């Protein structure tokens, strides 16, 4: 691999890795944590699944590249992506030396987005994290790291807001935590903490049409990332 680089106004050829971005996109669906995967249609990784990703262009920052790639490959836009880690093993892409700057983000529900396919990526799907298919590159590792980061951030940020709709019940919120953390939480303690944290506030409304006592609806006080 060769990098041709303008330095001191001369065209200078240097050899170096190519730079890609990959996005780990989580959502909740049917009581499961899922991740967005794309099926590769040809080349050495044919029929394997991968994260949406692509090469970084010269005229875009890494953050911009992550957003662009995600939008181009999946039609998902306008979400907050956070840089996760940069993966640089020699053999992570058998076709050549490529390092990947991985990003992760959460989206509220798969049905809110119309994903699309491309000639190179023939299928696109939300795959349960517990049941990942055969993955291309080191993408399984990237997903595992992203999940670990997500769990950690649950504890000290309001990051879940992007997984939930505008209005939700405390039980919805608790289920979200339980699914991601993979463990049961105590209802009374959870509610105490959430209400006291003042990350959420009552809407005054109740959820109707279910054959039980109606649950109060809450909203997030602010729909942007905050430390608790």
Partner DNA sequence: ACAAAAGTGTTAGACATACACCCATGA
Partner DNA sequence: TCATGGGTGTATGTCTAACACTTTTGT
What residues make contact with a copy of itself under the rule CB under 8 A?
1-8, 13-19, 43-44, 55-63, 65, 83, 85-86, 88-90, 95-99, 101
Q: Give the chain's largest Cα–Cα span.
A: 74
Separation between Cα atoms, residue 46 and residue 122, nearest integer Å: 10
Q: Which of a copy of itself, DNA, none binds 171 (CB below 5-8 Å, type-dependent)?
A: DNA
Applying CB under 7 A, what is the total number of residues that bind DNA?
Answer: 20
123 given a catalytic annotation = yes
Residue 208: CB partners within 8 Å, gap ≥ 6? 214
Separation between Cα atoms, residue 125 and residue 105, nearest integer Å: 16
Does the protein bind DNA through residue 151 (CB under 7 A)? no
Nearer to DNA, 78 or 210 (CB): 210
Nearer to a copy of itself, 53 or 200 (CB): 53
Does the protein bind DNA through residue 179 (CB under 7 A)? no
135 closest CA partner among 7, 47, 30 = 47
Q: Least distance from C-beta 209 to DNA, angstroms?
A: 7
Separation between Cα atoms, residue 224 and residue 41, nearest integer Å: 37
Of 60, 64, 123, 167, the active-site residue reads 123
Per-residue tokens: 190: 């959870």
- Side-chain-side CA neighbours of 37 within 13 Å: the count stands at 25
Q: By CB under 7 A, what part of segment 187-206 binds DNA? A: 187-189, 191-193, 206
Nearer to a copy of itself, 147 or 194 (CB): 147
Q: Least distance from C-beta 205 to DNA, angstroms?
A: 10
Nearer to DNA, 120 or 156 (CB): 156
Q: Assess contact for 155 and 183: CB atoms under 8 A.
A: no
Find the helix or strand (DSSP H, E) in which 140 lies: helix 139-156
Residue 201: CB partners within 8 Å, gap ≥ 6? 218, 219, 220, 221
Q: Which of DNA, a copy of itself, none binds 188 (CB below 5-8 Å, type-dependent)?
A: DNA
Q: Which stretch binds DNA (CB under 7 A): 60-68, 96-104, 109-117, 186-194?
A: 186-194
Binding interface with DNA (CB under 7 A)? 169-171, 186-189, 191-193, 206, 208-216
């Amino acid at each position: 691999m060769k990098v041709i680089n303008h330095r001191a106004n001369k065209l200078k050829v240097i050899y170096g890795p190519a730079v890609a971005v990959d996005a780990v996109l989580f959502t909740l669906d049917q009581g499961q944590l899922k991740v967005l995967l794309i099926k590769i249609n040809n080349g050495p990784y044919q029929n394997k699944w991968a994260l949406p990703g692509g090469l970084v262009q010269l005229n875009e920052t890494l953050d911009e590249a992550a957003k662009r790639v995600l939008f181009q490959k999946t039609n998902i836009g306008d979400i907050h992506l956070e840089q996760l880690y940069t993966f640089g093993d020699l053999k992570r892409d058998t076709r050549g030396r490529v390092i990947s700057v991985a990003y992760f983000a959460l989206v509220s529900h798969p049905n809110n987005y119309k994903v699309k396919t491309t000639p190179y990526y023939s299928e696109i799907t939300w795959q349960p994290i517990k049941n990942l298919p055969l993955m291309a590159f080191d993408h399984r590792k990237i997903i595992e790291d992203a999940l670990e980061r997500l769990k950690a951030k649950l504890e000290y940020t309001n990051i879940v807001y992007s997984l939930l709709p505008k209005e939700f019940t405390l039980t919805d919120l608790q289920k979200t935590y339980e699914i991601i953390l993979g463990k049961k939480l105590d209802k009374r303690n959870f509610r105490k903490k959430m209400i006291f944290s003042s990350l959420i506030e009552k809407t005054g409304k109740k959820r109707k049409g279910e054959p039980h006592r109606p649950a109060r609806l809450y909203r997030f006080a602010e729909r942007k990332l905050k430390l608790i």
